[in-house]
Structure 1
Amino acid sequence: MCELIETDRLVLRRITPMDAPRITECIADPRIYRMVASITPDQSLERTQEWIATHEAGAANDTNHIFALQKDLELVGVIGADRPGAGLAFDIGYWLAPTEWGSGLMTEAANAVKNWLKGRGERAFTSGHFADNPASGRVLKKIGFLPSGRGRVFSLGRGEASDHINMSYID
């Protein structure tokens, strides 16, 4: 099991229970929770701790790998790869603190996770973004993902289904 992925500017490390306060602080920002389908606008510290515990179990089963993006010793985002079922492609999802938007950090992190998974023999991945978040789509396009469909996805942070662009990568 990989514990660290290093890039030029980031260390991607497994999330731990100690990350819960910082994660909860970051995702309280509507610019984040509105763009991630599974985050509520009022997510509690306890709910974040439960989320971390669930993902720790998923790492042991090789169904879920979640990394804290650490820049200069500060958690600035989270990226994960979740396999929704046996034989299915990993789905990559992420968020980045708004103070780091436009810096290229998420492209760097997403490419590192994609390459880490490829190094483990994975060849296909899925991801996606809400239609009103084109910056996330640009991150995915830069690392080789292509649009593969459109749909509507329910967002807990928005309280409604919103247009979503599905994207795929096949090596």
Structure 2
Amino acid sequence: MIFENTPRIETDALILRRFNEKDLGALLKIFGDRETNTYLPWFPAKDIKGAKEFYNVRYAAKYLEKQAYAYAVCLKKDDIPIGYVNLETQGAFDLGYGLLPQYRGRGIITEACRAVLIRAQSNGFDFVTATHDVNNPKSGAVMQRLGMKYCYSYREQWQPKNISVVFRMYQLNFNKDCPVYEEYKKISREWFKEQFAYENEKKEKSGIAPCRMQPLSAALRNGGSEF
């Protein structure tokens, strides 16, 4: 495993870099936007003070660690953050992302996530997971375009909003021998596999490729276009 902390990454259209205190205005737009934060556990930031708290807790502290992937997603034309990609470096190796509504539909977050996943794979990660609220299928579509495979769904009482949420858990293996990450099952009062997963398994057995999946290597090479 190679240890590094949020190295700058450039793609054809994007700059992925660390957030800094000069980004507080952009952070407020991202973490203060109600639509962007609807399916996140925290409440939207209300002012610059709230944005600075987000920065200090979720980013500045991360940048002091030996290993972290906590990115601002910026367009190359102006280097202003319009979203974020985070990848945890232990446990579930959870991938998280968000993008301001006006920039969706252009493949931006898919391109950003793909770049981070390629970096993680080259640095020795064996697998990554990601989860999404069942009421937010567009987030799941990003996971599918990245080549991630649906594994199971589970219910969690999400804090601090204190709401009951059903999540779908996806996993992408860089090491083909990795088992499914099952810790969410252990902490959940309810978990299950949804019907569409069984339908896709039937298609795979019959030689018909499920339309929602791509091979892992192809998914990391090919661009998405919806989110």
CA distance in 1, matches of 2:21, 2:96: 20
Structure 1 counterpart of 2:148: 145
Q: Quick check: 10-19 or 57-66, which moved more?
A: 57-66
Structure with the greater alpha carbon radius of gyration: 2
Structure 2 counterpart of 1:24: 28
Matched, 1:36 2:40: yes
SS of the aligned residue for 1:90 comes to coil
Is the 1:69–1:78 Cα contact (8 Å) retained in structure 2?
yes
Q: Quick check: 62-71 or 5-14, which moved more?
A: 62-71
Is the 1:82–1:92 Cα contact (8 Å) retained in structure 2?
yes
Percent of aligned pairs with the same residue?
23
For residue 128 of structure 2, the aligned residue among 113, 125, 128 is 125
Matched, 1:69 2:81: no
Matched, 1:96 2:99: yes
Matched, 1:49 2:52: yes
One-letter amino acid matched to 1:78: Y
For residue 14 of structure 2, the aligned residue among 7, 10, 29 is 10
Q: TM-score, normalised by structure 2?
A: 0.66
Structure 1 gaps, min length 5: none
How many corresponding residue pairs? Answer: 167
One-letter amino acid matched to 1:81: L
Higher relative contact order (CA 8 A, sep 6+): 1
Structure 2 counterpart of 1:79: 85
1:157–1:94 CA distance, 2 compared to 1 (3 A): farther
One-letter amino acid matched to 2:84: V
CA distance in 2, matches of 1:53, 1:127: 24
Bigger fraction of residues in strand: 1
Structure 2 counterpart of 1:108: 111
CA shift digits 1:96-134 (9 cap, x unpaired): 010111111111011111111111111211111111111
CA apart distance, 1:163: 1.7
CA root-mean-square deviation: 2.1
SS of the aligned residue for 2:22 comes to helix
One-letter amino acid matched to 1:26: I
CA distance in 1, matches of 2:97, 2:85: 4
Is the 2:45–2:51 Cα contact (8 Å) retained in structure 1?
no
CA distance in 2, matches of 1:165, 1:58: 26
